[in-house]
């Protein structure tokens, strides 16, 4: 006995002749109807194409459709679907807003370029107020950046924050006599670390020592120097990719901060570095700037002060020759004079230092870097990522 399923299959494979004839008739009717409908549709199709065929774009589209055998409703598609409609012209206010935003982004990029890394630029520029670094030694200088303009009070003096790109900056000098401790500065605190400077004893002839006693001439010189350092360009006069450089090759004979005794008498702190080299050794500008003063002085001999902007000056003393004049613009590395031993000096050397707002500060902080690099690891935590720009990384 065959299984039911097999028998059922066998039965279905034997259809009678009558259904086949009926099926053929239905097929013929359907094909005929389809042919007539297609002919009518094609006529309508070509008639509809005529009014738009003058457009080159539509002529191309039609040709492409025909060559690909396309018979769907392509001709009913919008004739220029791939063309953007012309944007309406911006209003004056919209144009101004667009240009302001482009200028802001350019300023952000220009300022960020001064920092050591994009990460430190983000971290600093995302803070409302920051001191770079937040801890420093007596005789150091720090750089302050704020989102707001204003004045900072520091050790009895007032410092104006100056606009630069998207922030406001000023240098704050820490006088070498400063006591260690934590000091309020703007919206933050500055830690002055403890440091003991070594001593240096100089023996000079009484004749040479006597020139240090001409207080009248020294006071006259000081007036000229103070006047030259009283005004500074209200911007950083150096580019983001040019670090400060050592101004002369030679032997470091006196480091910064040594307490000096001349013939046994206390003679103050040596707030500079001394670089000994043969007379005539070239001296170059540590950084780009404007010569604020190039003249001969009683104590420091032939001396140059260069303004680097924002109240910062570099000083080069005891030169045998001055190669620039007051008012000259100089580029970093440009020759400005020759090493000598003019003024109160025991031998050919360059006395080199920086002044920030008329306070002498440690030149070692500047060499081979920019003040924007004074940030130390751990000084700032990265600012919260801005959701609008987080994907730009």
Residues that bind Zn ion (CB under 5 A): 272, 274, 351
C-alpha 277/C-alpha 252 separation (Å) is 9
| Closest CB 274 distance from Zn ion, rounded Å | 4
Q: Pick from 271, 253, 241, 217: which is nearest to 339 by CA?
A: 253
C-alpha 117/C-alpha 99 separation (Å) is 27
Output 120 or 345, the one with its CB closest to Zn ion. Answer: 345
Percent of the chain that is helix, strand, coil (3-state, to 5): 30, 30, 40
Output 272 or 312, the one with its CB closest to Zn ion. Answer: 272
Q: Pick from 253, 270, 243, 231: which is nearest to 353 by CA?
A: 270
Output 103 or 252, the one with its CB closest to Zn ion. Answer: 252
144 forms bridges with which residues in the sheet? 131, 170
C-alpha 71/C-alpha 42 separation (Å) is 9
| Closest CB 299 distance from Zn ion, rounded Å | 11
Question: Regarding beta strands 188-192 and 135-136, do their DSSP bridges make them parallel or antiparallel, or are they unpaired?
Answer: parallel
Output 162 or 315, the one with its CB closest to Zn ion. Answer: 315
Output 133 or 343, the one with its CB closest to Zn ion. Answer: 343
Q: Pick from 110, 185, 107, 180: which is nearest to 146 by CA?
A: 185
Q: Which residue's Cβ lies closest to Zn ion? A: 351
Output 143 or 272, the one with its CB closest to Zn ion. Answer: 272
| Closest CB 254 distance from Zn ion, rounded Å | 6
Q: Is 363 in contact with 352 (CB distance < 8 Å)?
A: yes
Alpha-carbon Rg for the chain, nearest whole angstrom, is 41
| Closest CB 337 distance from Zn ion, rounded Å | 15
Output 237 or 272, the one with its CB closest to Zn ion. Answer: 272
| Closest CB 202 distance from Zn ion, rounded Å | 10
| Closest CB 111 distance from Zn ion, rounded Å | 35
Which backbone phi and psi does 55 adopt, to 5 degrees?
Answer: -75, 130
| Closest CB 270 distance from Zn ion, rounded Å | 6
């Amino acid at each position: 006995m065959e299984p039911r399923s097999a028998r059922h299959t066998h039965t279905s494979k034997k259809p009678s002749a009558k259904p086949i004839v009926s099926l053929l008739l239905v097929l013929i009717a359907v094909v005929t109807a389809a042919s007539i409908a297609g002919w009518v549709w094609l006529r309508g199709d070509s008639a509809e194409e005529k009014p738009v065929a003058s457009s080159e774009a539509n002529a191309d589209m039609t040709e492409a459709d025909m060559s690909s055998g396309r018979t769907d409703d392509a001709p009913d598609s919008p004739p220029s679907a791939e063309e953007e409609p012309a944007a309406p012209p911006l209003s004056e206010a919209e144009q101004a807003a667009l240009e302001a935003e482009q200028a802001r982004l350019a300023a952000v990029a220009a300022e960020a370029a001064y920092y050591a890394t994009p990460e430190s630029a983000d971290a600093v520029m995302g803070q409302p107020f920051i001191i770079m670094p937040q801890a420093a030694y007596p005789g150091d200088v720090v750089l302050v950046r704020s989102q707001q303009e204003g004045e900072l009070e520091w050790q009895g003096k007032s410092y104006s924050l100056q606009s630069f790109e998207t922030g406001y900056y000023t240098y704050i000098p820490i006088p070498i006599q400063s006591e260690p401790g934590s000091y309020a500065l703007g919206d933050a605190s500055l830690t002055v670390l403890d440091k003991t400077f070594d001593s240096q004893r100089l023996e000079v002839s009484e004749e040479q020592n006597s020139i240090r006693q001409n207080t009248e001439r020294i006071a006259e010189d000081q007036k000229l120097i103070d006047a030259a350092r009283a005004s500074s360009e209200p911007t950083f006069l150096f580019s983001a990719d040019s670090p400060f450089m050592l101004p002369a090759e030679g032997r470091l004979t006196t480091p910064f901060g040594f307490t000096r005794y001349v013939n046994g008498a206390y003679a103050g702190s040596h707030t500079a570095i001394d670089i000994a080299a043969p007379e005539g050794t070239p001296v170059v500008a540590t950084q780009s700037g404007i010569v604020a003063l190039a003249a001969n002085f009683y104590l420091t001999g032939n001396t140059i002060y260069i303004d680097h902007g924002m109240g910062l000056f570099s000083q080069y003393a005891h030169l045998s020759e001055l190669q620039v004049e007051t008012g000259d613009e100089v580029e970093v590395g440009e020759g400005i004079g020759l090493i000598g031993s003019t003024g109160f000096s025991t031998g050919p050397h360059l006395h080199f230092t920086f002044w920030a707002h008329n306070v002498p500060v440690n030149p070692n902080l500047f060499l081979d870097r920019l003040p924007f690099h004074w940030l130390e690891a751990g000084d700032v935590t990265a600012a919260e990522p801005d959701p609008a720009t987080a994907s730009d990384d």
